[in-house]
Structure 1
Amino acid sequence: MKRLKPYIKTIHLWLGLASGLVVFIVALSGSVLVFEKELGPFFDPAYYNVPQVSSERFPADHLIEQARNRHPDSEFTNLYVFDEPERSMLIHLTDKNGERLVLSADPYSGAILKDTFYEKRFFFIVTELHRYLLMGNTGKAITGASCLIFVVLLISGIVLWCPVKLKNLKPRLKIKWNASFKRVNWDIHSVFGFYSSVFLLLIALTGLIWSYRWYENLMYYIADGASKPVHRVKNISAKNATERKDYFYASMLRETDSLFPYHGDIRLIRDVKGVNSILVLKENLEAGIPNIRDMVYFDMYSGKRLKTTLYKDLSTGDKVRRLVYPIHIGSIYGYPTKILAFLVCLVAASSPITGFLIWRGRKKKTKPGRKSKRKEEKPERQKNERLLQKQEVL
């Protein structure tokens, strides 16, 4: 391994320089997204809280009709109903140009609190920056490649950090804050990088799910021995069916609540093409981990329940896939893992900077004609420089 380290070091250096800016942007935006749920009410309060909570609520159909009246040429696509009584309902529409709109509705007064394009919301912009650099498919290709590179950087960084001799392990586990700037910068890059490497590797490997379809399918093949299953149910009624119920969507929400009596948030998804049935998902907020959702399918035209799929009956691959997002953003075990994810994202964002400074320091040192100033250096600084060089070799 000692003989391979110079080659690994070269690979680590040039891959880091090539992907550094993208890693910085993705990691920094990711640190913001970790606390999206907590910061959301600050940036967009009308999409989270209602002015006043009451005992009486308007049915979802009334609120959807209010939204449709504002945008008569739009199709209703999604409804979010939250378990917290102070939360507003979120209604998603798609206009004739394919633009998505999101409206916040007060279920107690029936009023529309806010109405805007989905793409203009703060956290949508941050998410687009994080996943696609605000560059669409081109950005997706860049961030996907950079994420793969980042995995290589993490693995090669661990290899470079590991000392050849056990006696050199202790200096690599702590930062010598009273040393020279060069030594402290190297320690920050190396020590913080080592402590966060396992967590960052987990974040990077889960992040690849959004970049590559083959990677997601590979995950399913490893878990299930088969490709990703399709969770769709076709409608059985004709488009002009006359057996549609009163309070059409509200009845679906009530039936879902009766099937799954636990506390949970509900999402209703409607197929604008009219081919697939309406899917209603309820997340079990009483479960120990996020994304534990049961599913109910309703006929789009009659409202009849067609199928119920319980979380416990999903394949292993589906259950693993449900865990990808909470692991990626650090919400898997609440605030402890969120704080951990936030800190390691900051480490990831700082690594391109500290790595660049290490490279610049070596480049300046090797410039031809540069006079050595070692005789003018203080003994303590000389000691630090020698120790740093020794660590880099080992």
Structure 2
Amino acid sequence: MGFLRSLRLQWARHQQRWFGKWHVYLGIIAGAIVAFVGVTGSILVFQDEIDRALNPELFYIMEQEKKMSFDEIIPVIHRRYPDLSFNYIMSDLEERPNRAYQLFNFATEDEYFINPYTGELSGKRLHESSFIHIVTELHRTLLIPAAGRYIVGLATLCLLILTISGLRLWIPQKWKQLKDVLTVKFSAGLKRQNYDWHNVLGFYSAPVVSLLSLTGICFTFSAPVIALLFMLDGRSPQGVAQLLGAKSAYTENANPLPLENIMEIGQQAMPDGRIGGISLPADSLGSYRLDMLGKNPPKNGKREMLIIDQYTGKVLLNSRLDFPESGDAYLGWLAALHYGSFGGRPTQILALIGGLMPLILFVTGFIIWWPRYRKQRRNGKSRPDAPPVPRRLANNQAAVPQQALPAFMANLKKGFRYALWVLLITALMGALYGLISGIIIPPAVFAVIYTAVFVILNFVVALAVWVFNLLFLVPFRKGSRGINRYFALSLSFTIVFLASYLLLMNTGMQIF
């Protein structure tokens, strides 16, 4: 009883802090959504294995002597099945000898399975009707057209904030309390055990959950993220669209090169990779896109891309050379980190567990919150005590820089201290995620540079809010010190993370 009484008092103190409020309200608002998204994500960690287990007749074939390459099998398919239309062909990620080639028609959503030894059609399905595709759409959009993608993205952002604020709430006030927040006291009552489980599971899963949420946000808001990456590299934000949309140089009576030649050119451009899939030209101006994989993709997560002119064989895009290294990280490591495939089975298991954590933490957190909420209702309060409302600036203080400057500089200094801690923790989170597989540097650097991207995007928002406050609120004595503080903290975070980004991306080392 004594512990629970002190727990309530401690909670009340946390309720007065902004991070406590964010943790409570975001958990209530977004908890159910991130729990659902996390569970579906856990299923997708092993999506290939599940799909093959549910449809063995489609994926598995009898191993024979010689497997045909893409350039050899495509003419065979056209001869045998002249009505079969497809625009993408891919092999099994691990190149197992008993796996079928997969063909896709993106216009009709048809997916075909071809025996790589004989060229025979071994199966067909409508891709969007498969179990894994349905789970994928639930994970990405909740099956809500248009808005669902952004609902999931914002909920995932809430999950990242919940993780950060939860870590702040987890920090014990005294070092001698460290053991209590790292372990579960099984001899205590159920309420205490539930509280301990919430703390302990949240702490130990934080590295994985933070990386899963960060990469998920990057998937959802890919357009501004990629545009900012190119801008930070001194390029036009439209550069990526121009590169990916590169066209072949068509002239009258021009003859396309044989696919064999295209594949040879691709292999010469990236001799340390292999061709995992080929997108065929859609028309006379279309180009070949070769999806290149590392020699051991589950272990390093490396995926790269080549776009080649179908007539001249000119390499129009080499992602290794034409993308900034941060863009290379997006292409090669984003999905691998999100699904845990970069480190093989160990990191996949971590990603599976990380996906289940939002559900577990939502349930345990709700069990902590609900009795307190009911008690506050009985005491005449419909919700937890609101945080103190920022006092309005009296006498138009913000309009006088000499008076506002000391407070601004104090917040800026405090922000630098916070930012350095967050930078260190961010790198540590990425490193811990890959530690079990021995891959430490790329996940750590990825975490830092993509956190930097969102820190910069946040600064753009903070700047807009600050300018609005200065121009439209302060003259009418409605300005808020909270906005000034938000801008100062955002500025300090941006300076620290932008400097880290530029330093990491200009070391001359090939991190990704």
TM-score in terms of structure 1 length = 0.80
Distance 1:108 1:176 in 2: 60
Say if 2:76 and 2:119, in contact at 8 Å, map to a contact too: yes
Q: Does residue 334 in structure 1 map to residue 344 in structure 2?
A: yes
Percent pairwise identity: 24
Distance 1:4 1:25, change over 3 A: closer
Distance 1:105 1:4, change over 3 A: same
Q: Does residue 307 in structure 1 map to residue 318 in structure 2?
A: no
- Following superposition, the deviation at residue 3 of structure 1 comes to 6.0
Q: What is the letter of the counterpart of residue 113 of structure 2?
A: S
Match of 1:234 in 2: 247
Distance 1:333 1:367 in 2: 49
Distance 2:13 2:194 in 1: 26
Say if 1:294 and 1:309, in contact at 8 Å, map to a contact too: yes
3-state DSSP class of the match of 1:90?
A: strand
Distance 1:237 1:275, change over 3 A: closer
Unaligned 5+ segments in structure 1 are: 370-394
Distance 2:174 2:123 in 1: 63
Say if 1:5 and 1:160, in contact at 8 Å, map to a contact too: no
- Following superposition, the deviation at residue 37 of structure 1 comes to 3.0
- Following superposition, the deviation at residue 157 of structure 1 comes to 0.8
CA deviations on 1:323-359 (whole Å, 9 max, x unpaired) are 1111111112212211111112211221111111212
Match of 1:216 in 2: 226
Say if 2:290 and 2:307, in contact at 8 Å, map to a contact too: yes
Distance 1:273 1:6, change over 3 A: farther
Match of 2:41 in 1: 30
Q: Does residue 178 in structure 1 map to residue 190 in structure 2?
A: no
Match of 2:96 in 1: 84
- 1:58-137 alignment runs, 5 A limit: 59-65=72-78, 69-71=82-84, 74=85, 76-82=86-92, 83-94=95-106, 98-137=107-146
Distance 1:226 1:170, change over 3 A: farther
Q: Does residue 193 in structure 1 map to residue 202 in structure 2?
A: yes
Distance 1:281 1:143, change over 3 A: same
- Following superposition, the deviation at residue 60 of structure 1 comes to 2.4
Structure having the higher helix fraction is 2
CA deviations on 1:263-319 (whole Å, 9 max, x unpaired) are 6342111343553311123212247512243525131xx4x4111755642421222
Picking from 275, 278, 290, the partner of 2:301 is 290
Q: What is the letter of the counterpart of residue 326 of structure 1?
A: A
- Following superposition, the deviation at residue 133 of structure 1 comes to 0.9
Distance 1:132 1:237 in 2: 39
Match of 2:151 in 1: 142
Unaligned 5+ segments in structure 2 are: 1-9, 380-512
Larger RCO: Structure 1 or Structure 2 (Cα < 8 Å, ≥ 6 residues apart)? 1
Distance 1:10 1:281, change over 3 A: closer
Distance 1:367 1:178, change over 3 A: farther
Q: Does residue 356 in structure 1 map to residue 366 in structure 2?
A: yes
TM-score in terms of structure 2 length = 0.63
Distance 1:129 1:179, change over 3 A: same
Distance 1:234 1:89, change over 3 A: same
Picking from 278, 283, 288, the partner of 2:288 is 278
3-state DSSP class of the match of 1:179?
A: coil
Larger CA deviation: 222-231 vs 52-61: 222-231
Distance 1:222 1:292, change over 3 A: same
Say if 1:92 and 1:103, in contact at 8 Å, map to a contact too: yes
Say if 1:67 and 1:91, in contact at 8 Å, map to a contact too: no
Distance 1:207 1:178 in 2: 38
CA deviations on 1:235-283 (whole Å, 9 max, x unpaired) are 1124x746345xx435534554466555634211134355331112321
Q: Does residue 243 in structure 1 map to residue 255 in structure 2?
A: yes
